[in-house]
Structure 1
Amino acid sequence: MDYIRRVKDLFKSQKTPFESKIESEIEHKERWRSIYIIYFTMFLISLGFSIILTGVWPYLDKLDPTAGKEFMGYIVAANPFGQMLFSPLVGWWSNKLGSIRIPVLLSLLVFTIASGTYSILELFPITQRKHWMLWTRFLVGVSSANIAACRSYLSAATTISERTKAISMISLCQVLGFIIGPALQTLAVPFGDEGIEFLKLKINMYTAPGWLNVFLSIFNFIIFLPFFFKERKIAAKEAMLKQGAKTEKETWKGIKPDYLSAWTLIVAFFVIVFNFMLLETLGSPLTMDQFAWSKADTVYYMGLLMSVGAVIACVCFAAISPLCKMFPEVKVMIWGGFLFMVLGRGVYIPWGETNPTIYNSTSRLTPFHDKLLCYNHNMNITNTFNKTKFDLNQSNLNFNESNLNLLDCNKLVELVGCPSNQKWCFTTRKMTLFQFLLGYGLTAVGYPIGVTLIQTIFSKILGTRPQGLWMGLMTGSGCFSRVLGPVFVTYIYTEYGPNWTFGITAVMMIMITVWLQIFNNRLEPKKFQEVVHDDDGEEMIEIEKLVEIKKEDVVT
């Protein structure tokens, strides 16, 4: 026991005492606890969008076989459309309140209700199911507008020296949410198409992810209550200390935003998120068309692929901080992020030797290939039989029930491949599995680096002023790209195929990469003036880089 006590004392003696001029040790702990809660919130909101991506098409097809890919595009786009509309509003509201608690709690309540409704769509009449699915995804998007408030708070709750790492982590949580979501959908595959019933609620491979969202959002709501989440803002205190300013507003004069740079980064954010979300949205239809995978195979294999992508993303996020110590952040963003995204789009133009497998799309909506239509077919025959039997019994005649021509709806043949109503299937080469995996790997490397450093540089350009509205604009640009992604699938991929789809997106990535390279000097963090005190009073002096608190001032 004495030996154990001596070991403990040894570690205690080596503990670095907490020293800071701008916060106490308790405030430091509460600040970082609030940041960790923000990380989880960002993960949950991203998860809420992506967890249904690989399952939304087969789920919609099961609920209403007549809906089609076009309506699927609207359903996927409904989420970012709601987020795009409400992100600037939530950002402005949080600025006005001076707190993000109420906006975030309200958004989590909406998220819980929408996710629960998504999981009980089979209880609605068949003709209404696709419309209710559309509304649930829109409300999930409205709830995810809290991302603007969360990003704004993170900028206010971190010092300059902490910000790159913190934004890397929040971006990691977002990307992991986007990537792990489909992996969780894969884990639900064993429930099968029919699933099980619990408290009269059906849990299958499509609804289980929705129920998971419900439980996670309830947990998120609880940890955002005042007992756990305490708002501690430090960025303004840091600037006031270094500039000798008496108020937060005085520090705003230290860094004046370069609006051209700010809008350039907003556009760049739009382009990179558009390309990433296009791949997330298009992944299931693309693999089903190109590789003739079944619905279950698509959910399973895409989930595995995105799980591998999550591991790659983690490695890339860990590499951002060391890379930014060796090279300027702007250079890492351009050559480590956007260049890989350009290559990822280019390799997706099909180079296979044959056309994809094609099936007759007119045969798809028949009782022989669709379970719901099969059930309706058998029901109609049974109803006709019962009516006829009743009529014949009135004449004392017998009717043989064994002559009914009922179908076995559990042994239907699923049609796989590229549907014949997509005319490009007959003329376009098939994509190879290797190039699909290669393109996904390049995207898994480029996206996390690019999207993280865009937000980091953007935050530093804005300075210490409240960033809720600006973060709302950036979030809105990302949402707009996610709105256009599904529409792009509907009108470009469905009509013209992968050559036009990935050709156009490759050109978009090339153009924004060149633009960033031209203006890379303006994207470097601005110089600002620091107020110093001498015997004669105050004077303003120029410094060549952003002020960072010394190690003895803040323990990170």
Structure 2
Amino acid sequence: MASVVDDDECSPLLPSSDVGVIVETQQVHKSRWWSIRVMYLTMFLSSVGFSIVVTSIWPYLQKIDPSADTSFLGWVIASYSLGQMVASPLFGLWSNYRPRREPLVVSISILVAASCLYGYVHVPASHNKYYMLISRALVGFGSGNVAVVRSYVAGATSLSERTGAMANISAFQAVGFILGPAFQAVFTLIGEEGVTFSAIALQVNMYTAPSLMGAFLGIVNIILIFAIFREHRVDDHGRHVGSLNYEFEGTDPVRDGEEPVDLVAVISSNILFFIILFIFAIFETISTPLTMDMYAWTRTQAVFYNGIILAAIGVESVLVFITVKIVSKRTGERILLLGGLLTIWVGFFILLPWGNQYPSIQWRDIQNTTKHNSTFLVSSLSTSGNQTVEPVGCPATQAWCFYTPIIHLSQYITSDALIGLGYPVCSVMCYTLYSKVIGPKPQGVYMGWLTAAGSAARTVGPVFVSEIYTHLGPRWTFGIICGIITSSLMHLAAVYKRLIAFSVRYGKI
């Protein structure tokens, strides 16, 4: 019986276009795809580590340190991406020369420790906002393993498998974004006080419970990497090849092509990815402050409702990823990238304020309010007179609140739906095109660059939107974003013909 099983496991599973060449056995095929699935899970847990607190950062920041304003919120959210931007090229370079298990385990361990730190940022007597800033920066540094994950999947799949595998990675990332806000919405049931464990000075509440859960999931991820993950690398035809950090036994390595990578296509892909992540970072950052200003939601309401909305967008994104895998076989990646950018542009255009209805004004901490007529002041004060516990509404310190119409809830939800449709298409198409442009070259450093570009966008985006939104309001914010997307569409049109696979460019496929 054992010999029969062995014979079955050693039988060729995937035929090669070259007669007599065995691509891989059934046993190796299983090992390769189980390793890829562990990378899917790693991507999922990385996105959960970010999204599980994204809707609660602003109210938690206000609670632990009242001196923090929306400008500092931008820095807190950007710190995650800044840490990831620094770490991604380093982990990518590490993965090119050493077993990938090393950077994966180290990065996830950092993420676990940082998530635990986030649970204790309320303990110090002062400067709490800076402790939150440090914890989010370290979580981002630990999430720099995204470059390792994507470079491994790109190198472990053939050209025909890659679009589907990249779509699956993005789908798992989207599921992480779904469950993160959903978990946060559920944790609101614990309340702001929660349960305190005095022996270890830990307060488990609606703000800290999500980060502690992220730490637990990180530990599970480390265990799976040791138990299941193995190194594999194949060429564009699916034949196993050797690498600096892994040598497949029993297979003659196929020599990589010496042709250069198209640097124009590489740089253009990084620019487009930067813009896409920049726009989505703005969308993530602005959602909670925007809804609290426009609809006079409390901190708990903003966390709960935005958690539900982001979870719904995540479900939509998963459906988009499934569809993209099918549609891309007929249309190609470039046209889908173009369509995704156009959809995002429409989504932000819809967010532009219009009408003659204005937000409720929050008058806390205002001493002199002589810029507006007394009738308006009396009306506004009367609407906020019952808010004795937690002031709500658009802060009077933001001058635009007095002359900018509200963004209706229907506008906001419609925009969310369109952005939730366009962003996943753009994200997976960028990664897929980029990996195909690079071709058979080791992709650790290249993917580190791309991830760093995305992290830079997530660093700049929250700071940009916090400053512009605070001082100029949503009309200027979303108008500028529409202009940025228009410029990216023009850039894509200019480099459209160069975004082709390495093997296609040099006539190998």
Does the pair score TM above 0.5?
A: yes
User: What's 1:486 paired with?
Assistant: 462
* 1:289-328 equivalent positions in 2, closer than 5 A: 289-328=293-332
User: What's 2:104 paired with?
Assistant: 104
8 Å Cα contact 1:274-1:485 kept in structure 2: yes
Q: Among 13, 16, 27, which residue is 1:18 paired with?
A: 13
Instruction: Tell me how far 1:527 sits from its aligned partner.
Output: 4.8
* 1:84-483 equivalent positions in 2, closer than 5 A: 84-97=85-98, 99-125=99-125, 127-198=126-197, 200=200, 201-225=202-226, 227-235=227-235, 238=238, 247-248=253-254, 250-253=255-258, 256-335=260-339, 337-362=340-365, 412-483=388-459
Instruction: Tell me how far 1:123 sits from its aligned partner.
Output: 2.1
8 Å Cα contact 1:236-1:251 kept in structure 2: no
Identity across matched positions, percent: 37
8 Å Cα contact 1:340-1:445 kept in structure 2: yes
Please give the per-residue CA displacement for 1:273-295, whole angstroms capped at 9, x wherever unaligned: 11111111110000001111111
How far apart in 2 are the matches of 1:36 and 1:246? Answer: 26
* Cα distance change, pair 352–184 in 1 and its aligned pair in 2 (3 A): farther
Find the residue that maps to 1:281 and give its secondary structure: helix
How far apart in 1 are the matches of 2:431 and 2:392? Answer: 41
How far apart in 1 are the matches of 2:252 and 2:212? Answer: 50
How far apart in 1 are the matches of 2:268 and 2:405? Answer: 37
Q: After the TM superposition, which of the residue ranges 192-201 and 421-430 deviates more from structure 2? A: 192-201
Instruction: Tell me how far 1:340 sits from its aligned partner.
Output: 0.5
Instruction: Tell me how far 1:438 sits from its aligned partner.
Output: 0.8
How far apart in 2 are the matches of 1:265 and 1:19? Answer: 32
8 Å Cα contact 1:42-1:173 kept in structure 2: yes
Find the residue that maps to 1:524 and give its secondary structure: coil
Find the residue that maps to 1:42 and give its secondary structure: helix
Instruction: Tell me how far 1:87 sits from its aligned partner.
Output: 0.9
How far apart in 2 are the matches of 1:150 and 1:476? Answer: 14
Q: What RMSD over aligned residues (CA atoms) do the two structures have, in Å?
A: 2.2
8 Å Cα contact 2:178-2:315 kept in structure 1: no
Instruction: Tell me how far 1:17 sits from its aligned partner.
Output: 8.1
Unaligned runs of 5+ in 2: 1-10, 16-21, 242-250, 368-386
8 Å Cα contact 2:269-2:434 kept in structure 1: yes
Instruction: Tell me how far 1:219 sits from its aligned partner.
Output: 0.2
TM-score, normalisation: structure 1 = 0.80
Find the residue that maps to 1:18 and give its secondary structure: strand
Letter in 2 for 1:448: P
How far apart in 1 are the matches of 2:178 and 2:489? Answer: 24
Find the residue that maps to 1:53 and give its secondary structure: coil
8 Å Cα contact 1:239-1:464 kept in structure 2: no
Please give the per-residue CA displacement for 1:91-117, whole angstroms capped at 9, x wherever unaligned: 1111122x2110110011111111011
Find the residue that maps to 1:152 and give its secondary structure: helix
How far apart in 1 are the matches of 2:503 and 2:113? Answer: 47
8 Å Cα contact 2:341-2:489 kept in structure 1: yes
Letter in 2 for 1:218: I
Letter in 1 for 2:298: S
User: What's 2:377 paired with?
Assistant: none
Instruction: Tell me how far 1:351 sits from its aligned partner.
Output: 1.7
Please give the per-residue CA displacement for 1:31-82, whole angstroms capped at 9, x wherever unaligned: 1111111011111111111211110111111111112222221111111001
Please give the per-residue CA displacement for 1:142-181, whole angstroms capped at 9, x wherever unaligned: 1011111111111111111110000001111223323432
How far apart in 2 are the matches of 1:257 and 1:17? Answer: 32
8 Å Cα contact 1:269-1:451 kept in structure 2: yes
How far apart in 2 are the matches of 1:413 and 1:146? Answer: 43
8 Å Cα contact 1:239-1:251 kept in structure 2: no
Task: From the CA coordinates, give the structure whose radius of gyration is larger.
Answer: 1
User: What's 1:403 paired with?
Assistant: none
Instruction: Tell me how far 1:240 sits from its aligned partner.
Output: 7.7
How far apart in 2 are the matches of 1:38 and 1:339? Answer: 31
How far apart in 2 are the matches of 1:33 and 1:124? Answer: 44
Q: After the TM superposition, which of the residue ranges 305-314 and 471-480 deviates more from structure 2? A: 305-314
8 Å Cα contact 1:277-1:482 kept in structure 2: yes
Please give the per-residue CA displacement for 1:489-508, whole angstroms capped at 9, x wherever unaligned: 32101000001111111111
Task: Could you list the structure 1 runs, at least 4 aligned residues long, displaced by more than 6 angstroms after superposition.
Answer: none
How far apart in 2 are the matches of 1:297 and 1:110? Answer: 32
How far apart in 2 are the matches of 1:361 and 1:347? Answer: 31
User: What's 2:473 paired with?
Assistant: 497
Find the residue that maps to 2:498 and give its secondary structure: coil
Letter in 1 for 2:97: K
Letter in 1 for 2:360: T
Letter in 2 for 1:18: L
Letter in 1 for 2:75: Y
How far apart in 2 are the matches of 1:517 and 1:30? Answer: 41
Instruction: Tell me how far 1:352 sits from its aligned partner.
Output: 3.5
TM-score, normalisation: structure 2 = 0.87
How far apart in 1 are the matches of 2:237 and 2:157? Answer: 10
Letter in 2 for 1:154: V
8 Å Cα contact 1:359-1:416 kept in structure 2: yes
Please give the per-residue CA displacement for 1:436-483, whole angstroms capped at 9, x wherever unaligned: 111110000000011101110110110111011110110001001100
How far apart in 2 are the matches of 1:33 and 1:90? Answer: 22
How far apart in 1 are the matches of 2:206 and 2:85? Answer: 29
8 Å Cα contact 1:47-1:181 kept in structure 2: yes
8 Å Cα contact 2:35-2:230 kept in structure 1: yes
How far apart in 2 are the matches of 1:448 and 1:19? Answer: 31
8 Å Cα contact 2:170-2:424 kept in structure 1: yes
